[in-house]
Structure 1
Amino acid sequence: MSGPSTPEGTRHVLTVRPEEAGTRLDVFLAAAGLGLSRSQAQRLIAEDRVTVNGQTAKASLRLTAGMEVRAVVPPPLPLAVEAEPLPLNIVYEDEHLIVLDKPAGVVVHPAPGHAGGTLVNALLAHCGPGLKGIGGVLRPGIVHRLDKDTSGLLVVAKSEAAQRGLSSAIKVHEVERAYLCLAFGVLAPDVSTVDAPIGRHPVQRKKMAVVEHNGRPARTHLYVRERFSRYTFLEARLETGRTHQIRVHLAFIGHPVVGDPVYGRRQGNLGLKRQFLHAARLSFVHPVNGKELAFTSPLPSDLAAVLAALRAGKEDEKNP
């Protein structure tokens, strides 16, 4: 529950649910739909802006069901990201949110090595200064993301109300996100689920991996669309939304995404310059007016051409 905004910030009162028992305090706050990253939650805790049952606590505190967590989230700092008038493929827009169809090759938000030319830079130019600070510094309005070389649908919040509502809906799995992908090998079952926790790779820290310890729950549902002699065309639906989730899960079961430069194979990429992964369907209930919204995006031409070649029995022509 969110309270009134004060000069110190917005006050939030949260009750730990039974299924959240045992969660660390910083992890709980990061997943609570307040627009906070785990590092931001840790900073609030260190600044004594968070109490558990009326007492300050450490970020590592393991919560139990029924505990009351109160947090004061300060107003966002000024955003040091410049607006850039870059093209946007807008599928839907109102005063609270905007749905975009992102092309491959576009980075969602600024990061080391990508200070400009990102989707956030373009959104600041399109939406104006009111977007600044929503959801935290450097990631205004971003409630979920797509990798640079993943194309497709993405929803961005334009108001604090939309930010809170969308973040909460994603947390409780009420936002449907379906992706189309091409995987190496032939998957036998028509329908399957990969249920395996994801965390930082223990050695290669820039990669994610399925890990036994300190991983976050991750679940991906797979539906076979078509099978070819050496590939499978899939629909993947996210139940959770961990970094690189589909790519990591498919690699984990031995069927990495074709064209994936990090988790895939170096050969047999059918001439693709990026991973065959496209956010094709997005549906959710509008967080402010309650309207049901659903959007679809067709496969981009580079992915559609590969699929057409496979259907024509030409998969060997582009294989080394």
Structure 2
Amino acid sequence: MIVRETHLVPAGINGVRLSDYARTIFESLPSRKGVAKAIKRGEIFINGAPAGSGDWVEAGQTLELVDLQQRAPKIFPLPLETVFEDDDLAVINKPPGIEVSGNKFKTVENALAGSLKPSPRPDALRWPRPVHRLDYSTSGLLLVAKTAGAQRLLGQGFEERRIHKRYCAVVMGPIRSGGSIDEPIDGLAATSRYEPIEIVPSLRSGHLTLVDLFPETGRTHQLRIHMASIGHPIVGDPKYGEPGNTLKGKGLFLAAVELRFPHPATQQETTVSIDVPPKFASLLARERQRWNKFNG
């Protein structure tokens, strides 16, 4: 067990809920929700004992935020493309077909320490931490914190919807105008916007559309579920797509291509973007060529 942060409760603090107090003292806990998760995982201690969700804080107590992992993760030797990096954070281009984190060895998180420079900041994390997730099959931009302060502030940014993401996808069928989808997912409100970029004819699918997607909430599989719900599933989606929707060996045609966020150290608006993956353009060009050839 590694103690990440320690705090001695000063005089005058009595009868304050741990869930309210902890988020004001621990740099790496961004919110009440983050505190609740840490308590549930057994990562907050009061006077050397694991804290409970109903505990209260009193003067003189010692609060500790711990990391239950005994040592830094074993480095997974996966070369990662670093799109942006400074002393506080990094943005990497996640390849498809790999988990961001979890109990497996082959994860992006286990590859980060071998790909990024250590931070010289006083609150540098022992190893870089992703601050959000991308699906196993989704490629693209992933925000990574290198300091406790960046982890906390970026977490707040996601919770307060001050971090904006743009995805690019190829979907089935023609989409001729932009729109918005408000469809709950697992009982929770979820909103996505879409804007068509290019429509191509397809012998196989009728039409394919290259779209920009903007999730305004962050539910699991949100874009995949929402596009399927309006009859335009993302190409290569075996879970929410239609029979014949996948292309052998090509994967899911969904990529996170832009992040816009207030930098945690300066609060300046920062935008990081990448090009649409080459396989998207290749698919559209191939479908258009086949259509033209068949139709003379």
Report the TM-score, using the length of structure 1 for normalisation.
0.69
Q: Which residue of 2 aligns with 1:304?
A: 281
Alignment of 1:63-82 (within 5 A): 74-79=65-70, 81-82=73-74
Q: Which amino acid aligns with 2:66?
A: P
Letter in 1 for 2:171: A
Equivalent pair of 1:309/1:315 in contact (CA under 8 Å):
no
Counterpart among 22, 30, 51 of residue 11 in structure 1: 22
* Identity within the alignment, %: 33
Deviation at 1:35, TM superposition (A): 4.3
Q: What's the CA shift for 1:294? A: 1.1
Contact 2:237/2:245 (CA < 8 Å) preserved in 1?
no
Displacement, 1:303? 2.2
Unmatched 5+ stretches in structure 1: 15-29, 56-71, 134-139, 200-214
- Residue 111 of structure 2 is aligned with which of 107, 113, 122? 122
Give the aligned partner of residue 288 of structure 1. Answer: 265
Aligned CA distance change for structure 1 residues 273 and 76 (closer, same or farther; 3 Å): same
Q: Aligned pair in 2 of structure 1 residues 106, 131: CA closer, same or farther (>3 Å)?
A: farther
Task: Tell whether the 8 Å contact from 2:30 to 2:152 is kept in structure 1 after alignment.
Answer: no
Partner of residue 84 from structure 1, selected from 76, 81, 89: 76
Counterparts of residues 1-320 of structure 1 (less than 5 Å) = 5-6=6-7, 11-13=22-24, 32=31, 35=34, 40-42=38-40, 47-49=51-53, 74-79=65-70, 81-111=73-103, 115-127=104-116, 131-132=125-126, 141-188=129-176, 190-199=177-186, 215-228=187-200, 229-270=206-247, 273-312=250-289, 314=291
Decide whether the 8 Å contact of 1:78 with 1:132 is kept in 2.
Answer: no
> What is the distance in 2 between the residues matched to 1:246 and 1:287?
27
How far off is 1:145 after superposition?
1.2
Higher strand share: 2
Shift of 1:298: 1.3
Cα drift, residue 279 of structure 1? 0.8
User: In the aligned structure 1, how far is the partner of 2:283 from the partner of 2:76?
Assistant: 33
**TM-superposed deviation, 1:85:** 3.4
- Deviation readout 1:74-132 (Å, 9 max, x if unpaired): 22223553123321100111111011011222221133xxx212111111334569644
Counting matched residue pairs gives 255
TM-score computed with the length of structure 2 as normaliser: 0.74
